[in-house]
Amino acid sequence: MSNRWMGPSLATAILLAACSRDSVAPELSSPPHPTLSEQASDEIQVSSLETLYSAVNDPTNAGKRIVVASGTYMLDGTQAHGGRIELQKDMTLAGQLGQQDAVVIDASNLSAANLTDGTLVTGAVRMGRGSNTVEWVTVQNAVKGAASITTDLVLAGATTATIAHVTASGSPRGFDIRNFGAAAAGRVLEVSLTDNELANNAIGASQGMRVANLQGAHGASIHATLSGNYVHGSITGCLASNVATQSATVEIESKGDRFEGNGNGCVLIGGLGGASAARGNLVRFAAHTSRFEHNTGALGPAFPTRGGIAAYGGASVAANGAFDNTLELDLHSAKIDDNDGPDIAAWGAISSAALPAGTGNVASIVLRGASKKATVNAVDSDPAEPAGTNHVTIVR
- Percentage of the chain exceeding pLDDT 90: 83
- Which range, of 96-105, 296-305, 343-352, 359-368, averages the lowest pLDDT? 296-305
The string of pLDDT tens digits covering residues 303-342 is 777 889 999 999 999 889 999 999 999 999 999 999 998 9
Span 175-183, mean pLDDT?
97
Q: Name the band, by pLDDT with cuts 50, 70 and 90, for residue 33.
A: low
Q: Are 389 and 9 in contact (CB under 8 A)?
A: no
Strands 120-121 and 116-117: antiparallel
Write down the pLDDT at residue 21. Answer: 63
Number of H helices, E strands in the chain: 3, 35
Residues 6+ apart with CB under 8 A from 298: none
Asked if pLDDT for residue 90 goes beyond 70, the answer is yes
Residues 6+ apart with CB under 8 A from 356: 319, 320, 349, 381, 383, 384, 385, 390
Write down the pLDDT at residue 319. Answer: 87
The string of pLDDT tens digits covering residues 192-246 is 999 999 999 999 889 999 999 999 999 999 999 999 999 999 999 999 999 999 9
Write down the pLDDT at residue 24. Answer: 59
DSSP 59: G
Write down the pLDDT at residue 163. Answer: 98
- Where in the sequence is the domain holding 133, given as residue range(s)? 3-395
* Whole-number Å distance between alpha carbons of 372 and 12: 33
Instruction: Give the closest residue to 162 by CA, choosing from 250, 71, 223, 249.
Output: 223
Span 44-63, mean pLDDT?
98
More confident residue, 325 or 32: 325
Q: CB-side exposure of 241: number of CA atoms within 13 Å? A: 32
Q: How many domains does the chain have?
A: 1
Instruction: Give the closest residue to 273 by CA, choosing from 210, 323, 326, 311.
Output: 323
Total Cβ atoms within 10 A of residue 386: 9
| Amino acid making up residue 298 | A
How buried is 96 (Cβ within 10 angstroms: 0-12 exposed, 13-18 middle, 19+ buried)? middle
DSSP 274: S
Whether residue 383 has a cis bond before it, omega within 30° of 0: yes
Radius of gyration of the chain (CA): 20
* Whole-number Å distance between alpha carbons of 367 and 392: 13
| Amino acid making up residue 49 | L
Q: Are 234 and 197 in contact (CB under 8 A)?
A: no
Instruction: Give the closest residue to 84 by CA, choosing from 103, 102, 111, 46.
Output: 111
Write down the pLDDT at residue 307. Answer: 87
Total Cβ atoms within 10 A of residue 254: 26
β-sheet bridge partners, residue 243: 272
More confident residue, 15 or 277: 277
* Whole-number Å distance between alpha carbons of 157 and 131: 10
The string of pLDDT tens digits covering residues 160-174 is 999 999 999 999 999
Helices (H), the chain: 9-19, 36-42, 49-57
CA angle 318, 321, 327 (to 5 degrees): 120
What φ, ψ does residue 27 adopt, rounded to 5°?
Answer: -55, 150
283 three-class SS: strand
- Average pLDDT over the chain, rounded to an integer: 91
* Whole-number Å distance between alpha carbons of 207 and 209: 5
248 three-class SS: coil
Q: Name the band, by pLDDT with cuts 50, 70 and 90, for residue 379.
A: very high
Q: Name the band, by pLDDT with cuts 50, 70 and 90, for residue 23.
A: low
Asked if pLDDT for residue 35 goes beyond 50, the answer is yes
367-18-225-371 Cα dihedral, nearest 10 degrees: -10
Which DSSP helix (H) or strand (E) runs through 322? strand 322-323
Asked if pLDDT for residue 36 goes beyond 70, the answer is no
Asked if pLDDT for residue 17 goes beyond 80, the answer is no
DSSP 98: T
Write down the pLDDT at residue 318. Answer: 87
Write down the pLDDT at residue 10. Answer: 46
Write down the pLDDT at residue 126. Answer: 98
* Whole-number Å distance between alpha carbons of 377 and 336: 14
Asked if pLDDT for residue 300 goes beyond 90, the answer is no
Q: Are 364 and 390 in contact (CB under 8 A)?
A: no
